[in-house]
């Protein structure tokens, strides 16, 4: 029986692996089937369901901007069955993907606005695609501020890339700020000596407190561990951001990615949301309306 | 000079046991089969349990003889409450116990004992040179398990056999499955007899043994209410306590079972010797052909007796299926039980020999007193007697050789130590 | 379009359905009632039944079904069950529930397994035998407007047959010799029978504005009271005709190369339903899960509730948690 | 087979403490795949199946049986020390199984008297517990006995380098997936399915029987009080229900509590 099933995973090859931290690796993938390559478009904030046959599937955000057709990058933390199995793979190995799924960030809507990107830990992965997109279409966006909270230097993702931005971002009108939790971390301390206004010890919220941001004409984009949202949103609303100006991407258990398996359903009877298809990107306004989303 | 031979852990047996032998010069001072299986106190924990789930707990005394335990338990309950079961139930129970025998004997004969005869540490190593034999043996074992699975609901600790009958009847198609399986493995069962008959037993001893087995009725089988003894006497199972005496003897500190102060033997060899005239078909002719090899004085003959039972059970299972299908399966509801304060004894020939369950209930149907005697507990005295004989005969040999032969003896009995809830050593 | 079929012709009618696939219908299985079972003998068919435990969703979203055969080198190959099936004797509530499932499974990303099963199945509805647990009039699902090929409305000696699809029309045409047109008296009887059926549905749940009430009653004591006696066993979800959560599991064979991707029904009452890596659970307690389930059922998708009032979750809850009762307590009316 | 091939295989041992050896037997009951399966491991110890045994470091140790004696405990600690992964197989090793049903209810001395007529704790027996009470357990495969398919899948997962998948939902789920009539609802039978870990494919309800709970209550999710209530409502006496809840859950706090309370009630 020849049927085309849009939910059947596609074959992809790993063209490169970068070890980023002790638990995170960056995977460069290339789709194998040329026919699907042409149809494969993704926007920042969308995610894939990544399969290892015989082990299972996991939703993973695409962490770069689409440049070449059929190529993409995933930053994956090993935490369980599937992600461990992915981490066992080597360059040249194959895995299977389907997607892209989810709404992604409203890059068009945000055009001609300043961007404030706030990320904690692995949350930088989807935001990196937003950043890359904005840099790729540099003239369509205003100033860009990135606030990134890490545990310590060794847990910082995309280190080289971001250190370059940290030092030379101003040329691109990008302000890159770093907060680190481990106050004894020597390398981070050196960075804070280098630019005390751009790197400080503490949580990511500290960066918001100590930076001048004007909410007018700005969109805030947030991603990080669930507890981070509450504090960040509090800071932002105090600064005058309206709930519609704050975008965030959410995580839930997912088995399908397309609004069928029911695991990511959140809310109360007045507003039910599927994180996979109504999100994973939501505004703070959505979160206010939908019980339990945040 | 005294020396002590110790086998820490018997392998290829069910449960945990070891052997200690103390030799004083030319004399065997003490032999012990050590049981370090922790006691599980089934007779105690079962107290106050309502009769309906008693078999579900008690069958967990043992994995390999789980059906024997549950049927002994069920029969004890039925005897206490005067419950009659239908012919159909009896046939199904027979079939179930044949399944258990096939599974257990196939495992023991081929995978646990035969490696001794052929000189391998285990069946897997044996498989490298006798691949087809091991594969066939596994199929035979599986055939037994299929019966068990279909009738009991699972290979180990099934649940379908209940007080009064079966919860759910097997479908006709499944029964036919059983028959097909039996035909498929018949040849392997026969092979087990031939292989053992053609290989000189690795040990030959001369020991005077007393045998005990249940009287299965007209056909060779494993369920009965009468105990037959090789001295010619017969007794009702209700009198089992008068026959199987548990007491202390002077050469050991063990509380062990004896009959008239003598150790005795239960199991396949006892059954074959006491019920030989009930064998039928291929098993009967094979018994005739090899009966000289089945020596009452050598407990290793137990293996050959098991093999012949394998042949018998495979054939008998197929004919029981025919009988069931011939009569047509009837849907029967489990009968209601009139509980009362009463005592009941149930006995079944487990693969390793007679198994007794003895319960006393209060008027609300809950257990107040329970006693279980497993075949291995009964055999221990005889096993130790054999140890002594072997060590005496080999007293000048290397320790390793003595140890090897002690293990051979143990394994010949197919001991099921996990079963032996009743065996205990009282320290000096 | 309405036709008429005499009850005495039903057997013959049923036999002509065989060409459309294996026929499944309600067959008595337990003291409580019937289950959809393959009809090997017409005599087993029991059209006047109250409810099955497992709803007909089991034919479309199977309790356990292999989705793909998988191979580490070659990837995934769909396993599609395209066998043809006729479901005879489906009630309105269950038809409405299937229509709800369609919205989920046939939307932007259609589920091929579901879709194939749906396309290969003929649904013949039948009027129901309500009992004290039915409240479909409250949920607006006492009548099926679409989602069936034929619907048999029972009257005294015959059925008024409503034709719901082209396939249904084809069946009618093929059975021309036994299919009649309803007479005026038939129509009168139809009205009486319908009124009688509706009058038996006495349980009433006021769903108007229930969404606001639920949203505002997050802290209501009734949730904790019921969570205390709830097992979190998931039965309520699994028997619900509109619940459709599933889990997917990959199985590998011993060769470590080939395997199966299998899906099975899941339930939001189970502990791991909202658990993510690292041990974070978005609904860690039974109260939250219970609240979530009631909210999900009472939420609206495209203006219809996610509950069709079939009463199953109440009947089959081992803790005797009564769905309507709980909502009434929340409503406090 | 060459040495190097053997070196790549996971070194495993199968050990048993106090129990019925049924879980080892269930592995041996995988007749169809047994030879292939065992050939994928480098078996260093398998007491029931082999005389060969090596006291060496292991990649994976499978332990069945409960810890009931000092001997058990010593063996267990030794196994833990030399094994990278320790997997408890079977209800004995996971929860203590039926021999634990009287824990905190009757003393060992009482049990000794009942069975052997002496009070002395000759065996240095203590209340049977699962191995997790004493050492770190990496995975648990529940069941009395373990389900062979589940065990096979767990072994395959381990061979593939993955964590085994063990259900953490109740038997009711599998009962419903199979469409078995619910024996509580239809017949008022005292089924423990709502609180017992699934994985058996609802064997008992499939045979028309009430689940006796052989796979043990679901850890952290067992509503024992609700079960007590549900069965009371159906006419069962407390003594009956509590005995039954204890069969495979003698070590569960919330079930022990039920027992204690009811006993003291009975005393009055
Ligand atoms: C929209 C989205 C984007 C994500 N992006 C990334 C990313 O870029 N990089 C990254 O490392 N991780 C990301 N995650 C988290 C990642 O999906 C989980 O870490 C992963 O599913 C864990 O799977 P596992 O099999 O390794 O873990 P296990 O704990 O063994 O999980 C078993 C199963 O549970 C489910 N599950 C467990 N945790 C999660 C979870 N957090 N989210 C969804 N399902 C879960 C999955 O279905 C999985 O198959 C994202 C999650 C979501 C929802
Ligand atoms: S069926 Fe009842 S006990 Fe089970 S989860 Fe649903 S509400 Fe709770
Ligand atoms: S029979 Fe038992 S396991 Fe099955 S649904 Fe009912 S309560 Fe649950
Ligand atoms: S239903 Fe319960 S008792 Fe029966 S096999 Fe399953 S877990 Fe064990």
Query: Which structural domains are found in chain D, ordered by start?
Result: 3-159 (3.40.50.700), 171-258 (no CATH)
- A14 vs B333: CA distance, rounded Å: 63
Same domain, B189 and B321: yes
Measure B417 CA to ligand 2 centroid, in angstroms.
44
Q: If phi over 0 gives left and psi between -120 and 50 gives alpha, with beta otherwise, what is residue B279? A: beta
Find the CATH number of the domain harbouring A192: 3.40.50.80
What are the backbone angles phi and psi of residue A206, rounded to the nearest 5°?
-60, -35
Identify which of A172, A203, A178 has the alpha carbon closest to the alpha carbon of residue A190.
A178
User: Mutate which of C227, C235, C269 to disrupt the D interface (most D C-beta within 10 Å)?
Assistant: C235
User: Which token pair is D79?
Assistant: 């196994």
Question: Which of B246-260, C157-171, D47-61 shows the lowest per-residue confidence on average (mean pLDDT)?
Answer: B246-260
**Would B134 be classed as within a structural domain?**
yes
Find the CATH number of the domain harbouring B139: 1.10.645.10
What is the DSSP secondary structure assignment for residue B110, as one 8-state letter?
A: I
pLDDT recorded at residue D261: 47
**Would B427 be classed as within a structural domain?**
no
The Cβ-side half-sphere exposure at C118, using a 13 Å CA radius, reads 20
- B93 vs B321: CA distance, rounded Å: 12
Kindly state if the Cβ of D173 falls inside 6 Å of ligand 4.
no
User: Mutate which of A81, A262, A272 to disrupt the C interface (most C C-beta within 10 Å)?
Assistant: A262
Q: Is the pLDDT of residue C61 over 80?
A: yes
Mean per-residue pLDDT for D175-183? 94
Mapped onto helix, strand or coil, the DSSP state of residue C123 is strand
Q: Tell me the pLDDT tens digit for each residue of B352-364.
A: 999 999 999 999 9
**What residue in D sits closest to C275 (Cα-Cα)?**
D168
**Would A282 be classed as within a structural domain?**
no
Q: Are B99 and B146 in contact (CB under 8 A)?
A: yes
pLDDT recorded at residue B419: 57
User: Mutate which of A55, A79, A85, A90 to disrupt the D interface (most D C-beta within 10 Å)?
Assistant: A55
**Top mean-pLDDT range of B194-203, B211-220, C29-38, D70-79:** B211-220
Query: Cβ–Cβ of D186/C35 closer than 8 Å?
Result: no
User: Which token pair is A213?
Assistant: 């941001």
A106–C contact, CB cutoff 8 A: no
| Domains in chain A, number | 2
**ipTM, interface predicted TM-score of the complex:** 0.92
Same domain, B257 and B236: yes
Same domain, B31 and B12: yes
- Whether D and B touch, i.e. at least 3 CB pairs below 8 A, reads as yes
**What residue in D sits closest to C57 (Cα-Cα)?**
D177
The Cβ-side half-sphere exposure at C114, using a 13 Å CA radius, reads 24
Q: Nearest ligand, CA of residue C234?
A: 2
pLDDT recorded at residue D47: 65
Same domain, B143 and B21: no
Mean per-residue pLDDT for A133-139? 92
User: Mutate which of A270, A274, A277, A293 to disrupt the C interface (most C C-beta within 10 Å)?
Assistant: A270
Q: Tell me the pLDDT tens digit for each residue of A67-99.
A: 888 899 999 999 999 999 999 999 999 999 998
The angle that helices D224-233 and C221-229 make with each other, rounded to 10 degrees, is 80
Residue nearest atom 5 of ligand 3, based on CA coordinates: D172
**Would A91 be classed as within a structural domain?**
yes
Residue from the list B12, B48, B155 with its beta carbon closest to the beta carbon of D48: B12
Q: Are B170 and B153 in contact (CB under 8 A)?
A: no
Kindly state if the Cβ of D211 falls inside 6 Å of ligand 4.
yes
Instruction: Find out whether the peptide bond into A280 is cis, omega within 30 degrees of 0.
Output: yes
Q: Nearest ligand, CA of residue C249?
A: 1
Same domain, A160 and A199: yes
- Tallying the residues shown for chain D, one arrives at 268
Helix (H) or strand (E) holding B3: strand B2-7
Same domain, A75 and A155: no
Residue nearest atom 39 of ligand 1, based on CA coordinates: C276
**DSSP readout, B156-205?**
SS---EETTEESSPPPHHHHHHHHHHHHHHHHHHHHHHHHHHHS--S---
Same domain, A97 and A143: no
Kindly state if the Cβ of A277 falls inside 6 Å of ligand 1.
no
Listed by number, the residues of chain C in 192-231 with a beta carbon closer than 8 Å to a beta carbon of chain A are 210-212, 214-215, 218
**DSSP readout, A213-266?**
---TTEEEEEES-HHHHHHHHHHHHHTT--GGGEEEE-----SSSSS-S-TTEE
Q: A197: distance to nearest CA of chain C, Å?
A: 33
Mean per-residue pLDDT for D173-186? 94
Gyration radius from chain B CA atoms: 21
Q: What are the extents of the domains in chain C?
A: 2-199, 210-332
**Would B217 be classed as within a structural domain?**
yes
**DSSP readout, A37-97?**
HHH----TT-EEEEEETTTEEEEEEB-S---STTEEEEEEE--SHHHHHHHH--TT-EEEE
Residue nearest atom 5 of ligand 2, based on CA coordinates: C232
Domain that holds residue A60: 10-101
Kindly state if the Cβ of C171 falls inside 6 Å of ligand 2.
no
B423 pLDDT band, cuts 50/70/90, is very low
- Choose the residue to mutate in D90, D212, D216, D217 for probing ligand 4, maximizing ligand atoms within 8 Å of C-beta: D212
D163–A contact, CB cutoff 8 A: yes
pLDDT recorded at residue B252: 38
Q: Are B317 and B182 in contact (CB under 8 A)?
A: yes
Same domain, B252 and B372: yes
**DSSP readout, C196-248?**
HHHHH-------TTHHHHHHHTTT-HHHHHHHHH-----HHHHT-SS---EEE
- C136 vs D89: CA distance, rounded Å: 48
Measure C326 CA to ligand 3 centroid, in angstroms.
22
Mean per-residue pLDDT for B24-38? 77
Query: Cβ–Cβ of C299/A9 closer than 8 Å?
Result: no
D180 pLDDT band, cuts 50/70/90, is very high
C274–D contact, CB cutoff 8 A: no
- D13 vs D24: CA distance, rounded Å: 11
Find the CATH number of the domain harbouring A55: 2.40.30.10
D69 pLDDT band, cuts 50/70/90, is confident
Q: Are B90 and B166 in contact (CB under 8 A)?
A: no
Question: Which of B92-101, B196-205, C144-153, C183-192 shows the lowest per-residue confidence on average (mean pLDDT)?
Answer: B196-205
**Would B428 be classed as within a structural domain?**
no
Query: Cβ–Cβ of B121/D102 closer than 8 Å?
Result: no
A291 pLDDT band, cuts 50/70/90, is confident
pLDDT recorded at residue C6: 94
Query: Cβ–Cβ of C271/D193 closer than 8 Å?
Result: no
Query: Cβ–Cβ of B60/D97 closer than 8 Å?
Result: yes
Kindly state if the Cβ of C230 falls inside 6 Å of ligand 2.
yes
Q: Which residues pair with C36 in a beta bridge?
A: C26
Mapped onto helix, strand or coil, the DSSP state of residue B282 is helix
C220–D contact, CB cutoff 8 A: no
Same domain, A97 and A126: no
Same domain, B271 and B299: yes
Mean per-residue pLDDT for C196-208? 92
Question: What residues in D contact B36, CB-CB < 8 Å?
Answer: 69, 71, 123
Identify which of C134, C174, C145 has the alpha carbon closest to the alpha carbon of residue C19.
C174
D259 pLDDT band, cuts 50/70/90, is low
What are the backbone angles phi and psi of residue C51, rounded to the nearest 5°?
-160, 150
Same domain, B161 and B50: yes
Q: Is the pLDDT of residue D1 over 50?
A: no
Global pTM value: 0.92
**Would B426 be classed as within a structural domain?**
no
Kindly state if the Cβ of C233 falls inside 6 Å of ligand 2.
yes
D3 pLDDT band, cuts 50/70/90, is very low
By DSSP bridging, strand D67-69 and strand A265-268 are unpaired
Same domain, A97 and A118: no
pLDDT recorded at residue D53: 63
Query: Cβ–Cβ of A292/C72 closer than 8 Å?
Result: no
Same domain, A94 and A132: no
**DSSP readout, B283-302?**
HHHHHHHHGGGS-TT-TTHH
Query: Cβ–Cβ of D161/A88 closer than 8 Å?
Result: yes
Q: Is the pLDDT of residue B224 over 50?
A: yes
- B252 vs C4: CA distance, rounded Å: 91
**Would A186 be classed as within a structural domain?**
yes
Q: Is the pLDDT of residue B425 over 60?
A: no
Domain that holds residue B84: 42-420
D235–A contact, CB cutoff 8 A: no
- pLDDT greater at residue B13 or residue C303: C303
Mean per-residue pLDDT for A208-233? 89
Question: Which of A51-65, C179-193, D113-127 shows the lowest per-residue confidence on average (mean pLDDT)?
Answer: D113-127
């Amino acid at each position: 029986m020849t049927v085309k099933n849009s939910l059947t995973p596609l074959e992809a090859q790993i063209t490169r692996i970068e070890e980023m931290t002790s638990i995170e690796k960056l995977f460069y993938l290339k789709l194998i089937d040329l026919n699907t390559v042409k149809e494969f478009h993704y926007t920042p904030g969308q995610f894939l369901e990544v399969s290892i046959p015989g082990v299972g599937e996991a939703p993973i955000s695409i962490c770069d901007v689409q440049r070449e057709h059929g190529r993409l990058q995933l930053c994956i933390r090993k935490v369980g069955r599937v992600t461990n199995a992915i981490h066992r793979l080597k360059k040249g190995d194959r895995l299977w993907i389907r997607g892209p799924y989810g709404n992604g960030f409203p890059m068009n809507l945000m055009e001609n606005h300043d961007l404030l990107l706030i990320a904690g830990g692995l949350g930088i992965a989807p935001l990196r695609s937003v950043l890359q997109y904005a840099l790729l279409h540099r003239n369509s966006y205003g100033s860009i501020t990135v606030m990134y909270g890490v545990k310590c230097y060794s847990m910082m993702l995309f280190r080289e890339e971001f250190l370059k931005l940290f030092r030379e971002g101003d040329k691109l009108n990008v302000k890159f700020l770093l907060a680190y939790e481990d106050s004894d971390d020597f390398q981070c301390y050196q960075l804070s000596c280098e630019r005390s206004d751009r790197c400080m010890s503490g949580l990511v919220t500290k960066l918001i407190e100590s930076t001048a941001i004007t909410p007018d004409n700005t969109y805030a984009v947030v991603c990080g561990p669930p507890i981070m949202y509450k504090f960040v949103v509090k800071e932002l609303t105090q600064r005058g951001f309206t709930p519609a100006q704050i975008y965030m991407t959410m995580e839930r258990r997912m088995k399908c990615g397309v609004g069928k398996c029911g695991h990511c359903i959140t809310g109360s009877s007045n507003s039910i949301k599927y994180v996979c298809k109504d999100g994973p990107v939501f505004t703070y306004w959505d979160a206010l309306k939908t019980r339990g989303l945040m | 000079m005294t020396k002590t031979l110790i086998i820490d852990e018997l392998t290829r047996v069910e449960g945990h046991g070891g052997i200690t032998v103390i030799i004083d010069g030319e004399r065997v001072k003490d032999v012990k089969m050590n049981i370090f299986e922790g006691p599980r106190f089934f007779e105690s924990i079962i107290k106050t349990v309502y009769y309906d789930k008693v078999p579900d707990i008690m069958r967990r005394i043992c994995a390999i003889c789980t059906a024997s335990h549950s049927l002994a338990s069920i029969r004890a309950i039925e005897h206490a409450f005067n419950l009659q079961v239908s012919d159909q139930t009896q046939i199904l129970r027979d079939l179930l116990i044949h399944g258990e025998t096939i599974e257990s004997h196939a495992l023991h004969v081929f995978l646990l004992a035969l490696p001794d005869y052929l000189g391998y540490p285990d069946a897997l190593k044996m498989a490298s040179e006798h691949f087809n034999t091991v594969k066939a043996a596994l199929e035979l074992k599986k055939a037994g398990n299929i019966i068990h699975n279909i009738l009991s609901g699972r290979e180990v600790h099934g649940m379908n056999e209940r007080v009064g009958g079966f919860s759910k009847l097997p479908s006709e198609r499944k029964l036919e499955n059983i028959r097909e399986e039996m035909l498929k493995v018949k040849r392997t069962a026969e092979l087990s007899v031939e292989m053992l008959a053609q290989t000189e037993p690795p040990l030959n001893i001369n020991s005077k043994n007393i045998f005990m087995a249940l009287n299965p009725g007209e056909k060779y089988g494993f369920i009965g209410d009468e105990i037959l003894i090789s001295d010619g006497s017969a007794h009702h199972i209700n009198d089992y306590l008068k026959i199987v005496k548990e007491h202390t003897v002077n050469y050991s500190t063990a509380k062990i079972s004896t009959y008239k102060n003598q150790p005795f033997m239960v199991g396949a060899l006892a059954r074959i010797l006491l019920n030989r005239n009930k064998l039928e078909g291929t098993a009967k002719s094979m018994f005739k052909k090899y009966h000289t090899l089945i020596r009452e004085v050598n407990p290793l003959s137990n293996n050959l007796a098991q093999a012949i039972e394998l042949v018998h059970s495979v054939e008998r299972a197929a004919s029981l299926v025919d009988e069931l299908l011939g009569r047509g399966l009837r849907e029967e509801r489990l009968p209601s039980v009139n509980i009362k304060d009463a005592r009941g004894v149930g006995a079944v020939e487990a693969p390793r020999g007679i198994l007794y369950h003895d319960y006393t209930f209060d008027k609300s149907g809950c257990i107040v007193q329970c006693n279980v005697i497993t075949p291995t507990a009964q055999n221990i005295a005889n096993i130790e007697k054999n140890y002594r004989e072997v060590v005496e005969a080999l007293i000048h040999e290397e320790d390793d050789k003595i140890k090897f032969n002690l293990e051979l003896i143990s394994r010949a009995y197919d001991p099921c130590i996990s079963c032996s809830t009743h065996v205990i050593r009282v320290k000096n | 379009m309405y036709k008429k079929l005499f009850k005495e012709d039903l057997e013959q009618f049923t036999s002509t359905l065989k060409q459309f696939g294996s026929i499944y219908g309600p067959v008595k299985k337990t003291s409580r009632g019937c289950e959809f079972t393959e009809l090997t003998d017409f005599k087993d068919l029991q059209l006047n039944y109250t409810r099955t435990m497992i709803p007909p969703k089991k034919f479309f979203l199977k309790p356990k079904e292999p989705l793909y055969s998988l191979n580490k080198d070659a990837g995934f190959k769909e396993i599609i069950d395209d066998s043809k099936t006729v479901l005879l004797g489906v009630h309105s509530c269950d038809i409405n529930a299937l229509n709800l499932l369609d919205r989920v499974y046939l939307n932007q990303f259609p589920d091929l397994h579901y879709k194939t099963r749906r396309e290969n199945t003929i649904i013949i509805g039948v009027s129901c035998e309500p009992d004290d647990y039915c409240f479909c009039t409250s949920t607006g699902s006492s009548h099926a407007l679409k989602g069936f090929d034929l619907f048999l409305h029972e009257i005294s000696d015959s059925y008024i047959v409503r034709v719901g699809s082209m396939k249904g029309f084809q069946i009618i045409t093929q059975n021309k010799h036994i299919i009649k047109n309803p007479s005026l008296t038939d129509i009168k009887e139809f009205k009486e029978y319908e009124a009688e059926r509706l009058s038996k549905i006495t349980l009433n749940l006021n769903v108007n504005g229930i969404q606001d009430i639920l949203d505002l009653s997050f802290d209501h004591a009734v949730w904790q009271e019921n969570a205390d006696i709830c097992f979190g066993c998931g039965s309520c979800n699994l028997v619900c005709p509109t619940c459709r959560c599933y889990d997917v599991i990959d199985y590998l064979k011993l060769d470590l190369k080939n395997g199966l991707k299998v899906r099975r029904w899941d339930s939001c009452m189970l502990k791991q339903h909202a658990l993510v890596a690292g041990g974070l659970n978005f609904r860690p307690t039974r109260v939250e899960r219970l609240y979530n389930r009631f909210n999900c059922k009472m939420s609206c998708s495209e203006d219809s509730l996610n509950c069709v009032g079939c009463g199953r979750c109440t009947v089959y809850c081992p803790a005797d948690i009564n769905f309507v009762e709980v909502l009434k307590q929340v409503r406090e009316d | 087979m060459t040495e190097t091939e053997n070196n790549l295989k996971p070194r495993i041992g199968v050990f048993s403490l106090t129990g019925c050896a049924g879980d080892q037997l269930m592995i041996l009951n995988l007749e169809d795949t047994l030879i292939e399966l065992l050939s994928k491991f480098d078996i260093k110890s398998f007491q029931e199946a082999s005389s060969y045994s090596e006291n060496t470091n292991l990649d994976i140790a499978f332990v069945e049986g409960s810890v009931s004696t000092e001997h058990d405990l010593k063996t267990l600690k030794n196994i833990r020390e030399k094994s990278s992964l320790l997997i408890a197989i079977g209800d004995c090793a996971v929860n203590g199984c039926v021999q634990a049903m009287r824990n905190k209810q009757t003393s060992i001395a009482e049990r000794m008297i009942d069975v052997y007529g002496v009070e002395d704790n000759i065996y240095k027996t203590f209340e049977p517990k699962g191995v997790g009470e004493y050492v770190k357990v990496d995975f648990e495969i529940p069941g009395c006995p373990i389900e062979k398919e589940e065990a096979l899948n767990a072994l395959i997962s381990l061979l593939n380098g993955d964590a085994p998948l063990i259900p953490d939902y109740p038997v009711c789920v599998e009962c419903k997936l199979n469409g078995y009539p619910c024996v509580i609802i239809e017949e008022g039978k005292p089924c423990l399915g709502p609180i017992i870990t699934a994985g058996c494919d609802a064997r008992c309800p499939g045979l028309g029987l009430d689940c006796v709970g052989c796979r043990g209550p679901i850890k952290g999710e067992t509503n024992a009080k609700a079960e007590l209530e549900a069965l009371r409502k159906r006419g069962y006496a407390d003594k009956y229900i509590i005995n039954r809840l204890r069969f495979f859950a003698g070590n569960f706090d919330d079930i022990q509590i039920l027992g204690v309370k009811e006993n003291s009630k009975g005393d009055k």
